[in-house]
């Protein structure tokens, strides 16, 4: 089964590509990737939220973070594991768990056609928790149909994507002084939770146009983030 991990923590303004701080952080993740092996299906680091854009309910697209928060999503992983316990044992070793948190969700769907990260943007679909349907329901099937239409229309730029189970299935993982701390649900109880992802290969202008077209419910929004290229 696939599990989606959001790496959450405070944004370090000194830890940007090209700095010693960034290189040290990258080394920690490279060590994790070597240890995890095939359990890491996909993973990216994200540029600062200030280099991203967001679409709020109503359709307006603006630059900057989706929400004003001291802690933000700094990276993403898709992990392969037999069950939740195995996924937790993998995720607890992600460096972000030591001083931030890992918000992990089982994935209902996951596809990846191209893992070339150059000029890539990630769209995080955010919806109110009460608006995220369970797989197999009529509301879920209706949403799938909308996303299939979008996928066909955006196939020139689309490189992957996935759908998540509702927020009740999420687990937050922290490690403090070597002790594993688990809690049910998302890391931060906020108005919107992540319930889907798209990976696009496009430039910034195209990313802005795609953000306007990704299907959401009437109260949903899009957090569009630029992927760090190595």
Average pLDDT of span 126-134: 92
DSSP string, 116-132: --TTEEEEEEEE-GGG-
Token pair listed for 100: 């931030």
This prediction's pTM? 0.94
pLDDT tens sequence across 181-205:
999 988 776 678 999 999 999 999 9
Q: How many CB atoms within 10 Å of residue 147?
A: 17
| Residue matched to tokens 């089982």 | 106
- Cα angle 180-183-189, degrees, rounded to a multiple of 5: 135
| Whether pLDDT at 15 is above 90 | no
Q: In this predicted structure, what is the pLDDT of residue 117? A: 57
* Percent of the chain scoring above 70 in pLDDT: 95
Write the CB contacts of 44 (distance below 8 Å, at least 6 apart in sequence). 75, 76, 117, 120, 122, 227, 228
Distances (CA, A) of 52 to 81, 120, 143, 182: 31, 12, 25, 30
pLDDT tens sequence across 34-69:
999 999 999 999 999 999 999 998 899 999 877 767
Q: Please give the Cα distance from 182 to 76 (Å, whole number).
A: 19
DSSP state of 81: -
| Domains observed in the chain | 2-226 (3.30.70.1060)
């Amino acid at each position: 089964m696939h599990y989606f991990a959001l790496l959450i923590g405070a944004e370090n303004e000194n830890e940007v590509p090209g700095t010693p701080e960034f290189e040290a952080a990258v080394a920690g993740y490279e060590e994790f990737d070597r240890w995890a092996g095939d359990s890491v299906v996909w993973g990216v680091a994200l540029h600062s939220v200030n280099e991203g854009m967001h679409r709020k309910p109503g359709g307006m697209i603006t630059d900057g973070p989706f929400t004003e928060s001291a802690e933000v999503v700094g990276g993403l992983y898709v992990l392969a594991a037999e069950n939740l316990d195995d996924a937790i044992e993998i995720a607890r070793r992600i460096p972000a768990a030591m001083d931030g948190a890992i918000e992990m969700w089982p994935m209902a769907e996951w596809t990846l056609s191209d893992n070339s990260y150059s000029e890539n943007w990630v769209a995080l679909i955010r919806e109110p928790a009460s608006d995220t349907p369970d797989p197999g329901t009529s509301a879920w099937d209706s949403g799938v149909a909308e996303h299939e239409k979008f996928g066909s229309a955006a196939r020139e730029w689309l490189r992957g994507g996935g759908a998540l189970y509702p927020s009740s299935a999420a687990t937050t993982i922290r490690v403090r002084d070597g002790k594993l701390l688990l809690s049910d649900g998302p890391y931060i109880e906020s108005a919107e939770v992540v319930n889907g992802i798209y990976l696009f290969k496009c430039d910034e202008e195209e990313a802005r146009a795609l953000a306007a077209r990704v299907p959401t419910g009437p109260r949903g929004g899009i957090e569009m983030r630029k992927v760090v290229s190595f």
